[in-house]
Structure 1
Amino acid sequence: MEENHNTRLTSSELSVVWSSYQNNSMAVCVLKYFAANVNNADIKSVVDYALASSEKNLQWSKDILKKDNQPIPIGLTDEDVSPTAPRLFSDEFYLYYLKNMAKIGLSIYGVALSTAANSEVRNFLSQAIQGSTDLYNKSANLLLSLGIFVRPPYVSPVKSVDVIDEKKYLKGIMKLNNNKRPLNVIEITHVEANIETNALGNALLAGFAQVAKSKKVRNYCTTGKDIAKKHIKLFATLLTDDDLPSPMPWALDITDSTIAPFSDKLIMFHSSLLIASSISNYATGSAASLRTDIQTDYVRLAAEVAQYSSDGVNIMIKNRWLEQPPQIPNHKKLAKG
């Protein structure tokens, strides 16, 4: 049954619609550049699909905000992208990028749907989830057909069902005689996923560092690249210590172009989106892991990424690139006159 009366957006609904406008305004800019610099016809079709979906989501977000009498955010605009700039990334990079962004979309929109009451917002989020699902499947299918889909490690089948009957199953901080238990499949899943996302982030930030105009932005991207490499090494060690392979995307090529396709504002905004996703992934990985040393690793890495994020926020504030999300009035300040 549809709502038969007008209702204001709740704080959670306004939050997701406002954030969706910001994120999709960035995605439209990035995908316009990708679409203008892609050679493979099959990959171009996936890029075009992603661009059309982002443009649709951007318009839906704008319409919902206008209907609720909310100001339209500045976001990212055509001024923040130069589609005619020379190619910076490979076609295969675009596919890995789209697969990862589809995963982020599924996570963000999925959580938001469970907090929404407004039927128009729920319809928007449901359509956005379907779009992200389709994008993931299209990019995954093409990666598979090209033979470059990064598969998590295989494990030998278990012979029987078992239960955890000893507390030492949780241990891992004390590495006495290298007696940590082997990783379970849930822990492997999150470790491998974080290797893949960090590899993509490393390549993206390397490209950004190559073309950013501001020295501070270039240095920021270089620092992020170094952090990603360090985290990849730690996660890979968790796998190789158990004689498991450490799968990595290998077709993340970057050209030698130094001509910026994106503004420094877009570069910093995009970096902040990746950082937020990384912190969320680490929190999920920590919660899903039963070995205490892995939990500790995730907490430590998340703290490092959070500090890196804070440095980026300061750069954005200094350059007036960071928009303030909608918030309630400061009633205490107003009462003081």
Structure 2
Amino acid sequence: MSASNQVPITSTELGNLWMTYQEKTMIMRFLEHFIEHVEDEQIQQILRSSYDDSAQTVASIETIFQQEGAIIPTGFTENDVNKGVPKLFDYLYEPMFLHMMSKIEVNLFALFSTMSYRKDIRQLFKQLTTNSQEVFDQCTQILLEKGVLARPPYVTMPKEVVFVRDTNYLSGFTLLKDARPLNVIELSQIHHAIETNLTGMQLMIGFAQVANDSEVKKYLVKGMKLSKDVETTLGEYLRQDYIEPPATHAGKATNSTVAPFSDKMMIYVTNLLSTFGLGSNALGGAFSLRSDLPMTMARLAQKVYSFAKEGGEILIKNGWMEEPPQVEDRKKLTKI
């Protein structure tokens, strides 16, 4: 089918393509800084392949927008990355960052695929999901081989099917009695949240060191403390069952104070991670059968929501928030 008689894209497809453009142009700027400093050939190959895939995605979206007569978003450009500055993150942070971002992308693009109707758009998001899964697999493997990715705890394999007979199974930790041990579903959600926050905390530390605007710097320090709060709060649930929370010696922020990225992009990335953190907390709470876990997840979610809202306000205040395409305002017709 030619572009001239192609079915127009829907509002949902437009919104999802617009969001993908923002995210992919941001990823490209990160990869440009990483590629400039990476020494490991295997990691460099992953970074360059990811960069090429992102650039191709950006070009594909631009083509679709041009065919539809839509303006191409600004996204993040060469003005948002500074070349020739010291590396901001140390040993193996590059695959750790991509490991974290590919988790987000797999979920995001799979969702966008199910929200798309035009065949070429469905195929685009299907391919993006596959690409992100491949990046996740590659980063997971190399981090495991380097010994810096903590596997979740092993447990004794079940030997029989057991049904819950006591409503106390739903009870959480109280001052009067201990809660039952975590089940493996609850444990998996906690481990995932801690693992992600460890990478995010180093990101916040690095960002806070190099931010130029004082308000942005204070906000990023707040993000650093919030990541620590999430890690220690959820880690306590593991410690109650004599399980050590995941940790890693790699991927630390360096002592550089020279910004490789614009304040605008650092706030955007922080806001993006906060938004997905809210989704993870909601998922973790939904799958938890111990009453104390959903309450804890809800308290953390409130903190993350307030933090994300503050980040949005900083973006708007500085004129950094690019406005998504809008639905036509037909309400004004009622005032004629």
- TM-score, length of structure 1 as denominator length: 0.96
1:7 positional shift: 1.6
Kept in 2: contact 1:196–1:249 (CA 8 A): no
Structure 1 counterpart of 2:253: 254
Kept in 2: contact 1:43–1:95 (CA 8 A): yes
1:76 positional shift: 0.6
Structure 1 counterpart of 2:236: 237
Letter in 2 for 1:256: N
Structure 2: how far apart are the matches of 1:150 and 1:51? 27
Structure 2: how far apart are the matches of 1:266 and 1:319? 12
Kept in 2: contact 1:190–1:285 (CA 8 A): yes
Structure 2: how far apart are the matches of 1:175 and 1:8? 60
Letter in 2 for 1:293: D
Structure 2 counterpart of 1:281: 280
Q: Aligned pairs, how many? A: 336
CA RMSD of aligned residues (A): 1.7
Q: Quick check: 30-39 or 64-73, which moved more?
A: 64-73
Q: Say whether residues 1:31 and 2:35 are aligned partners.
A: no
Alpha-carbon spacing, 1:150–1:67, altered in 2? closer, same or farther (3 Å): farther
Structure 2: how far apart are the matches of 1:48 and 1:37? 12
Structure 1 counterpart of 2:162: 162
Structure 2 counterpart of 1:312: 311
Structure 1 counterpart of 2:222: 223
Residues 24-63 of structure 1: pairs in structure 2 closer than 5 A: 24-63=24-63
Residues 59-78 of structure 1: pairs in structure 2 closer than 5 A: 59-78=59-78
Letter in 2 for 1:86: P
1:173 positional shift: 5.4
Structure 1: how far apart are the matches of 2:317 and 2:140? 39
Question: 4+ residue runs of structure 1 moved beyond 4 angstroms?
Answer: 1-5
Structure 1: how far apart are the matches of 2:181 and 2:175? 13
Corresponding residue SS for 1:35: helix
Q: Quick check: 165-174 or 275-284, which moved more?
A: 165-174
Kept in 2: contact 1:208–1:267 (CA 8 A): yes
Kept in 2: contact 1:40–1:91 (CA 8 A): no
- Structure 2: stretches of 5+ with no match in the other structure: none
Kept in 2: contact 1:3–1:119 (CA 8 A): no
Structure 2: how far apart are the matches of 1:59 and 1:95? 24
Kept in 1: contact 2:3–2:67 (CA 8 A): no
Corresponding residue SS for 1:15: helix
Letter in 2 for 1:101: M
1:168 positional shift: 1.4
Structure 2 counterpart of 1:321: 320
Q: Deviations over 1:33-90 (max 9, x none)?
A: 1000111111111111221121122112222222222211111100000131111102
Structure 2: how far apart are the matches of 1:61 and 1:226? 37
Question: In percent, how many aligned pairs have the same letter?
Answer: 32
1:225 positional shift: 0.4
Corresponding residue SS for 2:267: helix
Corresponding residue SS for 2:127: helix
Structure 1 counterpart of 2:213: 214
Kept in 2: contact 1:95–1:139 (CA 8 A): yes
1:111 positional shift: 0.9
Structure 1: how far apart are the matches of 2:246 and 2:36? 30
Structure 1: how far apart are the matches of 2:5 and 2:123? 16
Corresponding residue SS for 1:88: coil
Structure 1: how far apart are the matches of 2:279 and 2:62? 26
- Structure 1: stretches of 5+ with no match in the other structure: none
Structure 2: how far apart are the matches of 1:297 and 1:251? 29
Structure 2: how far apart are the matches of 1:19 and 1:45? 26
